[in-house]
């Protein structure tokens, strides 16, 4: 099942300000990503998955960029999209 990042945040009972702080983003920067005006990095989606307690795969529709930040937040590789293999469902 796919769910938007915003829906996952709301379901987790978290505010934009809280999540932005956890990802070390400005509120405006996080809002742009959550609303689809910018893309999340893969490491950010992994953190959101853990924070919201939803499988990482739920966010594939949001699209993401490679993990490109160092601990200081400086991009190492800019704007390269991650290609995702389709996942199978276990029945």
Q: Is residue 27 part of a domain?
A: yes
| Total Cβ atoms within 10 A of residue 89 | 6
Angle at 26 between CA 25 and CA 31, to 5 degrees: 95
pLDDT at 52: 95
pLDDT at 64: 52
Q: Is residue 51 part of a domain?
A: yes
Q: Is residue 88 part of a domain?
A: no
Beta-strand ranges (E) seen in the chain are 40-41, 64-65
Q: Is residue 84 part of a domain?
A: no
Q: Is residue 43 part of a domain?
A: yes
Look at the block and give the residue holding tokens 């601990």: 71
Number of domains in the chain: 1
Interval 48-81: pLDDT, tens: 999 999 998 887 655 555 554 554 554 443 444 4
Q: Is residue 60 part of a domain?
A: yes
Full domain range(s) for residue 47: 5-65
pLDDT at 56: 83
pLDDT at 79: 41
What CATH number has the domain bearing residue 17? 1.10.260
| CA separation for the pair 83, 21 (Å, rounded) | 28
> Taking Cα atoms as reference points, which of 34, 3, 39 lies closest to residue 17?
34
pTM: 0.66
Q: Is residue 42 part of a domain?
A: yes
Interval 13-47: pLDDT, tens: 999 999 999 999 999 999 999 998 998 888 999 99
Question: Considering the chain, what is the average pLDDT of its residues?
Answer: 76
Q: Is residue 86 part of a domain?
A: no
Residue 82 burial (C-beta neighbours within 10 Å; 0-12, 13-18, 19+): middle
């Amino acid at each position: 099942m796919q769910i938007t990042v915003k829906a996952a945040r709301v379901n987790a009972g978290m505010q934009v300000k809280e999540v932005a702080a956890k990802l070390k983003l400005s509120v405006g920067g996080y809002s742009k990503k959550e609303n689809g005006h910018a893309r999340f990095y893969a490491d950010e989606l992994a953190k959101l998955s853990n924070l919201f307690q939803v499988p990482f795969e739920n966010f594939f529709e949001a699209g993401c960029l490679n993990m490109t930040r160092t601990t200081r937040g400086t991009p190492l590789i800019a704007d390269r999209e991650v290609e995702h293999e389709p996942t199978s469902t276990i029945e």
